[in-house]
């Protein structure tokens, strides 16, 4: 049976690319910001582009923060992409006239990449964490990144209802190491864009849809 996935349409992200990519791997996709539909779906895909604080403001205005919290409380899968991964941390050093605190699902700050060339734009390999479900079969592939900020450390210790399963953290390097993806119970996120990463990204999305 086809899994029902909502691409959360709150005004941030290349949502049409996400819809097409998820449909390509067999998901039944709805593009909406309706809370009831987002809560009931098998999986919630949260896109994100641009400024951390603007992205968060838009997400909160569409009740997305509460929707994510309610889904996770019920063990219902959420996948955040690019800036929608960053907002899951405590905050960001990215400049903004209206700073927003992150959602705090994971501890730590998102900071500017320390590299000769920023933004990091293009295809890069990742160092896949042991036990990854998302990267099964594409551990050696390249994925498409476009970002200037990222989480550059990981400090979360396993705790709570998912303590028996430690988070799987995947890393990439641009100037220095940064968190490229996290799999933490029902919550997963990628700093790269799987919907723009060709066959490798499609395979990763298929792995996520199958896990729902």
Inter-CA distances, 2 with 18, 24, 25, 29, 212, Å: 17, 12, 10, 10, 10
- Does 122 have pLDDT greater than 60? yes
Domains and CATH numbers, the chain: 4-211 (3.40.50.880)
Active-site entry in 53, 120, 147, 193: 193
Which sign, positive or negative, has the C-alpha torsion 130, 135, 137, 142? negative
pLDDT band with cut points at 50, 70 and 90 for residue 161: low
Residue 120 falls in the annotated catalytic set: no
Contacts of 140 (CB under 8 A, 6+ apart): 125
Q: Whose structure tokens read 């293009």?
A: 122
Residue 82 falls in the annotated catalytic set: yes
Contacts of 118 (CB under 8 A, 6+ apart): 112, 148, 175
3-state secondary structure of 199: helix
Element (H or E) spanning 169, and its range?
strand 168-174
| DSSP sequence for 43-100 | EEEE---S-HHHHHHHHHHTTHHHHHHHHHHTT--EEEETHHHHTTSSEE----SS--
3-state secondary structure of 104: coil
Q: What is the pLDDT of residues 96-118, one digit of tens each?
A: 999 999 999 999 999 999 999 99
Beta bridge partners of 123: 144
Active-site entry in 82, 94, 141, 206: 82
* pTM summary value: 0.95
Q: What is the pLDDT of residues 134-149, one digit of tens each?
A: 999 999 999 999 999 9
pLDDT band with cut points at 50, 70 and 90 for residue 12: confident
Active-site entry in 94, 105, 141, 195: 195
**Residue 162, CA atoms < 13 Å, CB-side half-sphere:** 16
Share of the chain above pLDDT 70, in %: 95
């Amino acid at each position: 049976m086809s899994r029902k996935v909502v691409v959360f349409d709150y005004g941030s992200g290349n949502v049409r690319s996400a819809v097409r990519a998820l449909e390509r791997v067999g998901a039944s996709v709805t593009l909406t910001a309706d809370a009831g539909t987002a809560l009931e779906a098998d999986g919630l895909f949260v896109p994100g582009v641009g400024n951390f604080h603007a992205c968060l403001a838009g997400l909160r205005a569409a009740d997305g923060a509460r929707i994510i919290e309610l889904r996770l409380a019920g063990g219902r899968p959420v996948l955040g992409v690019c800036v929608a991964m960053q907002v899951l941390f405590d905050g960001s050093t990215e400049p903004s006239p209206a700073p927003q605190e992150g959602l705090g699902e994971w501890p730590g700050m998102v900071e500017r990449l320390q590299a000769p060339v920023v933004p990091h734009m293009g295809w890069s390999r990742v160092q896949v964490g042991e036990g990854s479900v998302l990267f099964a079969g594409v551990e050696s592939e390249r994925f498409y990144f476009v970002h200037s900020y990222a989480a550059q450390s990981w400090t979360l210790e396993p705790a709570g209802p998912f303590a028996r399963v430690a988070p799987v953290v995947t890393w990439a390097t641009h100037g220095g190491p940064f968190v490229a993806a996290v799999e933490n119970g029902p919550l997963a996120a990628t700093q790269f864009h799987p919907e723009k990463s060709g066959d490798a990204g499609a395979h990763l999305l298929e792995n996520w849809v199958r896990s729902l």
